[in-house]
Structure 1
Amino acid sequence: MAIKKTDAGWLVDSQPGGRGAKRFRKTFKTQAEAKAYEAWLHTQVTVAPDWQPAKRDTRKLSELIGLWFTHHGSGLRSGDDTHRRLLAIVDALGNPFADKFTVDMFAQYRTRRLAEGVSANNLNREHSYMRAAFNELARLGYWSKDNPLGKLRQFKIQENELSFLTREQIVALLIALQEARNPHVLLITKVCLATGARWSEVEQLRITQVREGMIQFARTKSGKTRAVPVDEDISAEILGHYKREGQGQSVFGYAWSAFREGIERAGITLPDGQMTHALRHTFASHFMMSGGNILTLQRILGHQSLTMTMRYAHLAPEHLMEARRLNPLTAIKEFHA
């Protein structure tokens, strides 16, 4: 009953927007005042639609991911792979209705996956994929509510020490790779060391990307093209290798396994996950130790943010000299001298 008599007066207890909408309770001295207030409440539903309960979004989460892929993901370089990952997440979540997908649901899924042995890094990537999908759906007009994962923090990851090869290790590695049966592995390694490029960028190199003493890397992680100068010897080796071993426009073939075997023959131990990437770290580390400019290094490596490149700043000669000169023990020695 919307209006009833109580000891305090006439109580209006009404949900003008219907079940699930905002509820109003107010007491009046007279029944006439209570009826007038109730009538006014019902008029507000017509003139103020936000008083009405939100309509259910009965689309399944998989349908939203399908819309994301059709209108955005299909145009991305890694769109197919991201689409598969998103659908795998949706399946693990039980493919809920869109309006039932909450941050708590994803947090529980994440905790469960972590207990199963999935790394925090992988879970952070899944979080990023899903959050980005909802952001894009909102821009496209297919999602009008807040991003369910917009305020969820990612796991804090302890950065691993960046491992780079010493000059002695570089020599040992190149000697070991000369013994490899794979015809590509030695030169791919040398190009990585000369340019700081990722292994995949060099392995997929096309002859049209090599000209006028420059290598232009087009199939990059960021999707942006960058050019790195190389000396004449490297350019000549690439052109000669292409004439002997190239297929179509491709200069090289698959060589990752041969590189791993070469690392083992050279007696070099690398941290997990830093096999071929150690070559990129080696280039950057030696570049800074030789007095290179941090902004130049950023452009060579193709980092979008200088924060990524700053990981190598501590190797700069001036940084090392300041550590020796400005530490408190040196100050004490100078005071007593």
Structure 2
Amino acid sequence: MSIRKLPSGKWLFEYYPNGRDGKRVRKQFTTKGEAVSYEQYMEEQAKSKPWLGEKEDRRKLSELIDLWYKLHGCSLNDKKGRLGKLNIICSGLGDPIAASLTAKDWAHYRDQRLQGAIDNGYSTSLETRKVSTGTINCEHAFLRAVFNELKRLGEWSLPNPLENIREFDQPEREMAWLTPDQITRLLTACAKHGNDELTLIVRVCLSTGARWNEVAKLKASQLSPYKITFINTKGKKNRTVPITEPLYQELIAREGKAFQPCYKQFYRVTRLAGIELPEGQMTHVLRHTFASHFMMNGGNIIVLQRILGHSDIRITMRYAHFAPDHLDDAIHLNPLAKTSGDKVAA
């Protein structure tokens, strides 16, 4: 709907109930107020008579995904990976009309994914591969975010079909960390079977709690006396962490040279050091180790949040139980604490 003033001085109301290719409604008024009142009247008519309102949305899910990528997804760090995952989901759902997608459709899709019965149009190994409930939850979050973002951008007016569907409950994952003895063995193995760069990356990770990629891509401009400023982080916020003078001097001595890729070497030296890690926690164990020892040595959880760069304190709270006095009140304040048999030693 639009209202504009004509050269004659009158006001023109113009409306295309079924889009530019449909019938046009035009009406002239003496005053702008009359034209605005008529516009409000037509809006009410459209609500009570759907055939006068917007055309039915017949866009396919793939069209919405492409639109989302163009307007928002292209700005993500992992834009290509995210788009690839969304295309897999779209293919598995059969690329339906987006407006017709229901909770029932999603429930059956995820069941087929868990059974390995989805043909995504890729290689045979991928077509029949079963996935975990964690993968399903990620796919759920990715597709739900597409509808939510398009709604925020004014490109989607219908309800989000995944809005009220609950994700699968997930048990808390094992969070491995290294003991002092394991740290010594790891650094020894790095020095003997790796190289100086591998050893230095490991030491910086253990000293700052930084992610492997944050350290591996370190540049000279990120160094200042006894501090490192990490940029292009997962949380998209820069953070500065203090380091010791000897470590700073070692990094400065590199004269800004880029680290050589040595991720695979880290995998090898952990095996040589006799360290077994849970699946999916290879280099991230260094970050867990920093956080765990920080709390065991009496560190403050808020300070740890800032060092690690967590935007949500709930993520950092995973390390709270490492604090020396964590939940000690359970000993002193339980109902048996005052009985003779359960007195706490002074």
Tell whether the structures are fold-level matches, with TM greater than 0.5. Answer: yes
In structure 1, C-alpha distance between the alignment counterparts of 2:277 and 2:68, rounded to whole Å: 39
Matching residue of 1:188: 201
How many aligned positions are there?
288
Structure 1, unmatched stretches of 5+, are 1-43
Q: Which of residues 50, 65, 81 is equivalent to 2:48?
A: 50
Matching residue of 2:272: 265
Matching residue of 2:66: 66
In structure 2, C-alpha distance between the alignment counterparts of 1:320 and 1:80, rounded to whole Å: 44
In structure 2, C-alpha distance between the alignment counterparts of 1:195 and 1:46, rounded to whole Å: 61
Structure 2, unmatched stretches of 5+, are 1-41, 117-129
Shift of 1:52: 2.7
Identity %: 46
1:331–1:74 CA distance, 2 compared to 1 (3 A) = same
> Contact (CA 8 Å) 2:197, 2:260: kept in 1 or not?
yes
Q: Deviations over 1:299-321 (max 9, x none)?
A: 11111111111111111112265
Matching residue of 2:75: 75
In structure 2, C-alpha distance between the alignment counterparts of 1:90 and 1:277, rounded to whole Å: 31
Q: Which of residues 280, 290, 295 is equivalent to 1:288?
A: 295
> Contact (CA 8 Å) 1:45, 1:52: kept in 2 or not?
no
Matching residue of 2:285: 278
**Root-mean-square deviation over aligned CA pairs:** 2.4
- Which residue identity is paired with 1:108? H
Matching residue of 1:308: 315
Partner of 1:179, secondary structure, is helix
Partner of 1:129, secondary structure, is helix
Matching residue of 1:114: 114
Matching residue of 2:95: 95
Q: Deviations over 1:160-207 (max 9, x none)?
A: 221111111111110011013444211111001000011111112122
Partner of 1:317, secondary structure, is coil
Partner of 2:326, secondary structure, is helix
Is 2:225 the partner of 1:212? yes
Matching residue of 2:261: 254
Shift of 1:210: 1.3
In structure 1, C-alpha distance between the alignment counterparts of 2:48 and 2:170, rounded to whole Å: 42
> Contact (CA 8 Å) 1:184, 1:254: kept in 2 or not?
no
Structure with greater Cα Rg: 1
> Contact (CA 8 Å) 2:209, 2:308: kept in 1 or not?
yes
Comparing 294-303 and 265-274, the one that deviates more:
265-274
> Contact (CA 8 Å) 2:298, 2:323: kept in 1 or not?
yes
1:329–1:167 CA distance, 2 compared to 1 (3 A) = farther
Matches within 5 A, 1:118-267: 118-240=131-253, 242-243=254-255, 247=257, 250=258, 252-267=259-274
1:231–1:104 CA distance, 2 compared to 1 (3 A) = same
Shift of 1:255: 1.3
Partner of 1:215, secondary structure, is strand
1:265–1:334 CA distance, 2 compared to 1 (3 A) = same
Comparing 80-89 and 261-270, the one that deviates more:
80-89
Matching residue of 1:41: none
Matching residue of 1:85: 85
More helix by share: 1
In structure 2, C-alpha distance between the alignment counterparts of 1:80 and 1:261, rounded to whole Å: 29
Q: Deviations over 1:114-142 (max 9, x none)?
A: 12221222211111111111111111111
> Contact (CA 8 Å) 1:45, 1:51: kept in 2 or not?
no
Partner of 2:229, secondary structure, is strand
1:286–1:324 CA distance, 2 compared to 1 (3 A) = farther
- Which residue identity is paired with 2:307? I
1:50–1:66 CA distance, 2 compared to 1 (3 A) = farther
- Which residue identity is paired with 1:111? D
